[in-house]
Amino acid sequence: MSAIHVNHLRKVFKVQKNREGLKGAFQDLFKRQYNQVAAVDDISFQIPRGEICGYIGENGAGKSTTIKMLTGILVPSSGQIEVNGMIPYKDREKFVRGIGVVFGQRSQLWWDIGVIESFQLLKKVYRVPENDFKMRLDEIVERLQLSEILNRPVRKLSLGQRMRCELAASLLHNPSILFLDEPTIGLDIVVKTEIREFLKEMNQKYETTILLTTHDLQDIEALCSRVIMLDQGHIIYDGGLQNLKDKWGKGKEVHFQFQKTYPLSTLHDLTKGLNVKWFKENELAAKVWIPQNEVNVSDVLSRIVGFTDISDIKIFETNTDEIVREIYKSGSAEKAKEVVASNV
């Protein structure tokens, strides 16, 4: 049985239309007009137990609306959802005991009381037995290095400290599914790395299923084997991250720093027969563009090294950011593939 099962899910919001001018405002007072916005428009997917899946999309794509439906905060307009074998907006008490949620922009901790008191309250909310709570708390406090800040009120914590406490709070009841909505937003790279390591560990140790919404593709690279990409309420890609790179990656760029000047024609001659493109950077530097799956970097290097005097070489890998941006721009993974192919 999958941890999350979503079938033809839709959420339509009714948004008030504001008519223009004073007359319009007056008319609005008596007769309101509304627009329908389909925030999530007929999406289907399944997430097996123990998977970490990235859920990405541009602002307004419908990510948070999906997470809110999956966690039972919003009721779908149509379609079916099953999370942990339950319908999230029904049987709330039982349902929330099986999930953990972190909204990076909102806190589940009480602002003015000590962190440990918030944890004690959550223990009561989730009805966690004392022994289980103690074991779990000890493990998480040690792993996330929270002992120094447990007695501080949340309002006095730095963002990084607060996010570590939010994660701890979401895991105290040992949920089998964790929903993370922008968990690393605004954090520095050190805290981001710590959080990613911690999540990886929890997933491996407890087989926690994780659905992760983020704008930081480094989160996805570090954690997810699968990514679901959303655009205007529709799924435009659902598959492996490596597959995305293999199929839609633009290729590699190798930058050469030479000790002498080599004209472009010489570099072209050296790589004759290989489908690569050379660009001159300055008198002593040039870069070569190597399309994915067509030419091996080692073939190019073997033709250049030994025939030229090189002082430095740098290889730039496929950039996930660029692939994803291209896909967002074109609105579908298939179209992006065509765009990328025509650019190479």
Ligand X SMILES: Nc1ncnc2c1ncn2[C@@H]1O[C@H](COP(=O)(O)OP(=O)(O)OP(=O)(O)O)[C@@H](O)[C@H]1O
* Footprint on this chain of ligand X (rule: CB under 6 A): 13, 15, 37, 39, 57, 59-65
Task: State which residue, 105 or 298, has the beta carbon closest to ligand X.
Answer: 105
Task: State which residue, 64 or 320, has the beta carbon closest to ligand X.
Answer: 64
Task: State which residue, 185 or 301, has the beta carbon closest to ligand X.
Answer: 185
CB of 128 to ligand X, least distance (A): 30
CB of 49 to ligand X, least distance (A): 25
Task: State which residue, 12 or 113, has the beta carbon closest to ligand X.
Answer: 12
CB of 229 to ligand X, least distance (A): 11
CB of 136 to ligand X, least distance (A): 30
Q: How far apart are the C-alpha atoms of 209 and 323, rounded to whole Å?
A: 26
Total count of residues recorded for the chain: 344
CB of 40 to ligand X, least distance (A): 7
DSSP 3-state of 225: coil
Task: State which residue, 74 or 144, has the beta carbon closest to ligand X.
Answer: 74
Task: State which residue, 39 or 168, has the beta carbon closest to ligand X.
Answer: 39
Contacts 24+ apart (CB under 8 A), 17-26: none
Q: Are 241 and 320 in contact (CB under 8 A)?
A: yes
CB of 66 to ligand X, least distance (A): 7
Contacts 24+ apart (CB under 8 A), 148-152: 149/115, 150/114, 150/115, 150/116, 150/119, 151/114, 151/115, 151/116, 152/114, 152/115
Q: Are 210 and 134 in contact (CB under 8 A)?
A: no
Q: Are 166 and 198 in contact (CB under 8 A)?
A: no
Q: How far apart are the C-alpha atoms of 312 and 256, rounded to whole Å?
A: 6
Q: Are 121 and 110 in contact (CB under 8 A)?
A: yes
Residues 6+ apart with CB under 8 A from 1: 49, 85
Task: State which residue, 46 or 77, has the beta carbon closest to ligand X.
Answer: 77
CB of 226 to ligand X, least distance (A): 18
Q: Are 104 and 181 in contact (CB under 8 A)?
A: yes
CB of 63 to ligand X, least distance (A): 4
Q: How far apart are the C-alpha atoms of 73 and 181, rounded to whole Å?
A: 14
Measuring CA to CA, which residue among 110, 114, 101 is closest to residue 172?
101
Q: What residue spans of 145-263 are helical by DSSP H?
A: 159-171, 189-206, 217-223, 241-248
Task: State which residue, 62 or 251, has the beta carbon closest to ligand X.
Answer: 62
